Amino acid sequence: MAWDFETDPAFQEKLDWVRAFVEEELIPLEPIIGDFTPQQWREVQEPLKQQVKDQGLWACHLEKELGGQGFGQLPLAQMNLITGRCPFAQEIFGNMAPDSGNSELLAEGGTHEQKEKWLWPNLRGELRSAFAITEPFVASTDPTQITTSAVLDGDEWVINGRKWMITNASIADFIIFMVVTDPEEVVYKRCSMIVVEKGTPGMEILRDIPTMHHPHTEYGLIGNHAEVLLNDVRVPRDNLVGERGGGFILSQVRLGPGRIHHATRWLAEAERAFDMLCERTKSRTSFGKGYEKHQMIQEYIADSRMELEMARLLTLRAAWKMDRDGHHAARADIAMVKVNNATVLYNVIDRALQVHGSLGYSCDMPLELMYRSARMAPLVDGANEVHKVTIAKEELKRYAAVDGWPSEHIPTRREAARQRFAHLLEARG
C-alpha cells in the first residue's frame, strides 16, 4: 500500500519542524547575510545543516535507492512549499540547484567510480558543482545548437568552447559540461556530458556575470553565474557521464525533477509575499477607511489567493503523477507547473510590492529583491515559451485533422445530425 504521508503523524511532525526551523532560524538571518564574508557564511551554515541532517531531512530530492534521504516527489513538494519561503533554505537542506540536479544526474548516469569521486561527496555537502549547457553565441533554448566540442585524443577528451551564465561555476569543485562529441550523428545523439574538475589546465572562469538579482556581484559567491572558457582542456576519457551521445537523454533526468522543485519553491516565496500583502492591508488606511475595505486591494488579494491555490494543486498533481507514472510521463504536467508558477510568483510579488507603496520599492523590505529575482523564473529551466510548446504538443496528440474543414465539414455534420435525429424533428411537427 502507498505511504499515506498526509495522515502520517511522523511526517506531519517533520513538516512542523521544517516550518518552525525556516521561520525561526533561517528567515531572521536574512537581513545580515550581506554582512558575512563567504567563509563566515559557510561557518554560520554548518550548525544549521547539522540540525537538518539530525532530522533526516538532508538531500531529500534524491530517492533512498539512489543514495539520498528522499521519499518521493509528492512529500518532497510539501516540504518545498515550506522551505521555498527562505531563499537560502535549499542550501541548508542540501537540495540546492545546481547540486541537486547534478546529484540526480550522477546517481542515474554515473559509474561506481564517478559516484565515489563526485556524487557521495556532493551529497555530503563537501564538494560543490555546476552544470553547463548555455553558450553566449547561440540561442541556448535550443541546445542542439551548442558548439563547445570534445574530441578523443588517446585516453583523454580535449575540450574547447565557451559557456556562460553557469550558476556556481566560480565556486564549483567540478562542472558537468554538455559538449558536442559526435557532430556527424543525428541531432539528438551529438552531445555528451563530461566532468571537468576545478583547476584543470585550460579551464578559465572569466567572470561572475552581474545580473538583475546580483547587480554588484562579488566574485566567488554562491548563486552567481559565471562565464567559462575552455581552451584545450584535457580530462580522462572516464569523465564521460552516461553514454557517449546520450547527453540530451541524460539532461532530461536532471532537468525534469529540478524544474518542479524550483517551481514549487517559487510558490512558497509567493506565499510569503502574499502574507506581506495581507499584513500591509490590515495595517494601513487611506481615504477614511482601512485598505481592507478598498475593493481593488480586495481584488489583489482574491486574485492572488486563487492563483496560489490553483498553482498549488497543479503542482501537487504533477508531483503525484511523477511518483505514479515517472518523470517522462509527467513532462507536460511539469511544463505547466514551470510556466504557471513563474507567472504566479511574479504576479503576487508585484501586487504585494504595489500595496506597500514606496516601502515596497525600497530596500527596507525584501520585496524589491524578490521582484528582481522573480524575473529569472520565466527564463531559467527552459524559457516559458519552449515549455508551452511541450504542453501544446501533448494536447494536440489527442486531436486529428478534420477533413474539409470548414466548408464541407459543417454542412456534413448538419446533414448527419438531421438524419440521426429525424424522429425528434418529426415529433416537433
Least separation in angstroms between residue 246's CB and ligand FAD is 18
DSSP state of 383: -
**Which residue stretch of 138-146, 228-236, 300-308, 407-415 sits at the interface with ligand FAD (rule: CB under 6 A)?**
138-146
Is the CB of 141 or the CB of 147 nearer to ligand FAD?
141
**Which residue stretch of 135-143, 196-204, 238-246, 249-257 sits at the interface with ligand FAD (rule: CB under 6 A)?**
135-143
Residue 344 grid cell: 504566479
Residue 352 grid cell: 504585494
**Which residue stretch of 21-29, 164-172, 259-267, 294-302 sits at the interface with ligand FAD (rule: CB under 6 A)?**
164-172
Q: Map the footprint of ligand FAD across residues 207-226, applying CB under 6 A.
A: 225
Is the CB of 52 or the CB of 97 nearer to ligand FAD?
97
Does 165 sit near ligand FAD (CB under 6 A)?
Answer: yes
Does 78 sit near ligand FAD (CB under 6 A)?
Answer: no
Is the CB of 165 or the CB of 179 nearer to ligand FAD?
165
CA 415 and chain centroid, separation: 52
Q: What's the rounded Cα separation, in Å, for the pair 258 and 62?
A: 11
Binding ligand FAD (rule: CB under 6 A), the pick from 66, 206, 359, 386 is: 386
Does 52 sit near ligand FAD (CB under 6 A)?
Answer: no
- Give the per-residue SS3 of 73-102: HHHHHHHHHHHCCCCCHHHHCCCCCCHHHH
Does 383 sit near ligand FAD (CB under 6 A)?
Answer: yes
Nearest-10 crossing angle of helices 247-283, 367-374 = 150
Is the CB of 78 or the CB of 217 nearer to ligand FAD?
217
Least separation in angstroms between residue 39's CB and ligand FAD is 23
Is the CB of 141 or the CB of 285 nearer to ligand FAD?
141
- Yes or no: say if 4 and 74 are a contact pair by the CB < 8 Å rule: no
Torsion of CA 211, 217, 220, 226, to 10 degrees: 30
Residue 14 has a CB neighbour count (10 Å cut-off) of 20
Q: What's the rounded Cα separation, in Å, for the pair 27 and 25?
A: 6
Element (DSSP H or E) covering residue 230 = strand 225-236
**Which residue stretch of 70-78, 161-169, 317-325, 410-418 sits at the interface with ligand FAD (rule: CB under 6 A)?**
161-169
Element (DSSP H or E) covering residue 311 = helix 295-325
For 26-63, give the DSSP string: IGGGGGGGGGS-HHHHHHHHHHHHHHHHHTT-TTTTSB
Q: Map the footprint of ligand FAD across residues 94-113, applying CB under 6 A.
A: 98
Binding residues vs ligand FAD (CB under 6 A)? 98, 131-134, 139-141, 165-167, 225, 376, 379-380, 383, 385-386, 389
